[in-house]
Every structure is written in C-alpha cells, then in structure tokens.
Amino acid sequence: MNFEWYIARRLIGSREHKSSISAPIIKIAIAAIALGLLMMLVALATGVGLRYKIREKVAAFNGHIQIYNYDNNLSEVSVIPVSTKQEFYPEFKLVEGVRHIQAVATKAGIIRTEDTFEGFIAKGVGPDYDWDAFEEFLVAGRLPDYRGELNTETLVSRHMADRLGLGVDSVYNCFFLKDEDPSRMPNQRRFRVVGIYDSGFEEFDATYIFTDLRHIQRMNNWEADQVGNFEVFLDDFDQIGVKGDQIYGKTLSTLDTQTIQNKYYQIFEWIGLFDFNIALIIGIMILVGGINMITALLVLILERTPMIGILKALGARDWSIRKVFLYNAAYLIGLGLLWGNALGLGLLALQWKYRIFKFPNPEEYYMDYIPVYMDLPTLLALNLGVLGLCLAMLLIPSWIITRISPVRAIRFE
C-alpha cells in the first residue's frame, strides 16, 4: 500500500479534521476553486461559442473560400463569369478536407414598392446551394426551392422586409441595370417572397436577397455553364489558411482565391481578441484559486505539526511527508473542481437550451443571445490544467516541512 496515500486518506476521512480550526479555511479554498472553475467555464464557453457563431454566419453568406475570376477585382457583384466546367466542380476532390462547393452569382438591383425603394444585391443560387445555416436563420415561411423549373421564389431578410413592408407571399418588382450599357432600360423582374431570414448580421441582412441563379445568368446574357464564383466549405475552419493556399495551387492561373479571413479581416481580428480575454480570465482565476490553496495548505501543515515531527522521528523522509499534504491538497482541489464542473456545466446547459442570457446590444455582437460551446477534450484539458498548476504552486509552500525539527514539532502545541 502507498504509505503517503494511506496517511492522506486517513487525514481526509477523520472527523477531527472536519471539525478542526482549518475546516472553514478549507471550505473557503474549495469554494474558491469551484467559483474559479465556474468563471473559467463560462468565459471559455461563451468566448468560443461567440467565435464559432460569428464564423458560421460569415461562412453562410460567403463560404470559407471563394474562387473567382481575376478580373472581378474583388467586387461584391459578379462581373466576369467563370465556367462551371472545372476539374474541381461539382465535387472538389483535388484537396482533402473540402466538404462542399457551390456555384453562385450576384447582381446589384433596386426593389421598388408603392411607398419606398431599397438597394440590394441579388445572390443567385442553384440546386447545389447549402441551406443548412439558413434553416436556423429562418423566421417566417420556408426556404426557396430551385431544383425544378425557373421560378420567382426569393428569400429576403427581416431587416429588408420591414423596411419595404413585405411579408411571406408578397410580390415585389426589382430593377437591374444592364452592365454592358447602363443607359438602356433596366431589366425588370417580379419576385415573390417565400421566406424571411434574420442572421443578426445587419451588414449582410441589409444587402442580400436570394433568388434563382438562372435569373442572374439570363440578365447577364451568360451561358448555362457560366457563374459568378464558387464558394468552398471546409471540414475544419482552423485549416482555412492552409487549405486556401492548397486550393489556389490547384486552380487555373486565370482564377484567384480568397478566404473569408482575408475578406473580412476586421471581423476576424476582433474575434481573435476573445482568445486573449479568455486566457486572461483563466490565468487570474487559477492564481486566485492557487493562493487560497496555499493558505489552506499552510494551515494544514501548522495544524499537523506534531504529526510531522512523529513521522520524521520514525524515519519518514521530507518528500514523503510533503506528498501526504500534496495528496490532501489534490483531494481538496478535486472537490472544488467537482462542484465547479457541476455548477458551470449546469449553467451552460441551461443557456444552451433556453438562451436565458441575452446581449444588451445585440447589433454589436451580431446575435441577440449569448452562445455557448464546450467539447470534452477542452473540458478535460481545463480541469487537468487547473489541477496541475495549483499543485505546482503548492510545491513551494510544502517545502516548509523540510524546515520543521522533529523534537520541536512533537512538543508543538
């Protein structure tokens, strides 16, 4: 049997220990660890959740990587078409880690109603378009279906619908300038609203409506195999830089690629600050919890000074005695982690299911509720990191045991 663990277990389970002077201090230390872990879990889950949600929303409108003609000059409107007769379309097998590729085209226009008008960009999409993200954004009606014959179904944002007085099944007129000669009569289309979405990203919601890709092709006098650009979705967003370079190397020299990190660098620089804030909170909470555990350990050593003297007199080495108290401290830290996980994960589960906590200024965070995300590897790493760092901080104060004289310790009262 492990000698140190046996002594530590007897100390932990003794009634005298639970009613001693150190009991309130130990409870405070456990509470500090529990509350510290609770704060760490909340900071980590909300920071990562917000980052993931913002990334998903940007990707929903743009894909992770865009492939387009060099002559488009990074315009939001499709200018020079790209042929769909590419080696990488309709299935991108040239690079591993690509989940989906879809062909789209955009064209600027104006919606005119009896009372007002609004500028917009019509995003033409086809039957290969990934609507998964928009199922969450949908607030009324349904998603359009472009798998059959050309139709007039459109998806508009709630922002635009409110400004124009549109609802589900509303019919409205659109006007599109002719790129080859803007002075000529514009193209006119009459569309019907079948669904209304709200992504929370006003920059996108105030800009895009979704329509059949074939309308854009007809107005631009393009062939059926010509589109504005391709949107590529990856399995792992963290590989976007590497995959972007690989995809660029696998496409024709007349085509260029751009990741959403580069296109919307200001947004991604902002959410990159979340990592620093999370690390700062975790560091402060570990420091606070460690200081409380140091205090508890010193009180335990002081309270058990006669026992330390007896163990030394019986021949126990200093490191063995230190291990007894480190085992004891590890148990207390583990108890704090247990309570912290129970409270933290319970709170996160409630927020994930019921969205209790909201942003006071949702327009600044592109959503009205606080999203949370936590996976098992991150949770285990956080718990093991807290346990390891707190025990490492306790190595120094446990050194005081080596300075205790057996004779004086036995006589200590």
Residues 74, 211, 80, CA angle at the centre, nearest 5°? Answer: 30
Report mean pLDDT in 10-residue bins for the chain, 413 residues.
Answer: 76 60 81 94 94 94 93 75 94 94 95 89 96 94 95 96 94 85 80 96 94 95 95 96 95 92 93 88 91 86 79 81 87 94 96 92 86 95 94 85 67 54
Question: What is the pLDDT at residue 83?
Answer: 95
Q: How far apart are CA 43 and CA 32, in angstroms?
A: 16
pLDDT of amino acid 15: 53
Q: What is the dihedral of CA 315, 319, 321, 323, to 10 degrees?
A: -150
Q: Which residues pair with 232 in a beta bridge?
A: 65, 101
Estimate the crossing angle of helix 376-395 against helix 318-354, to 10 degrees. Answer: 150
DSSP for residue 369: B
349-352, Cβ contacts within 8 angstroms, sequence gap of 24 or more:
none
Contact (CB, 8 A) for 332 and 293 = yes
Element holding 29 (H helix, E strand): helix 23-62
Query: For position 183, what pLDDT does the model report?
Result: 64
Q: Is 4 helix (H, G, I), strand (E, B) or coil?
A: helix
Burial of 64 (0-12, 13-18, 19+ CB in 10 A): buried
Sorted by where each begins, the domain ranges of the chain are 3-57+268-411, 81-227
Q: Which of 273, 289, 277 is nearest to 44 (CA)?
A: 277
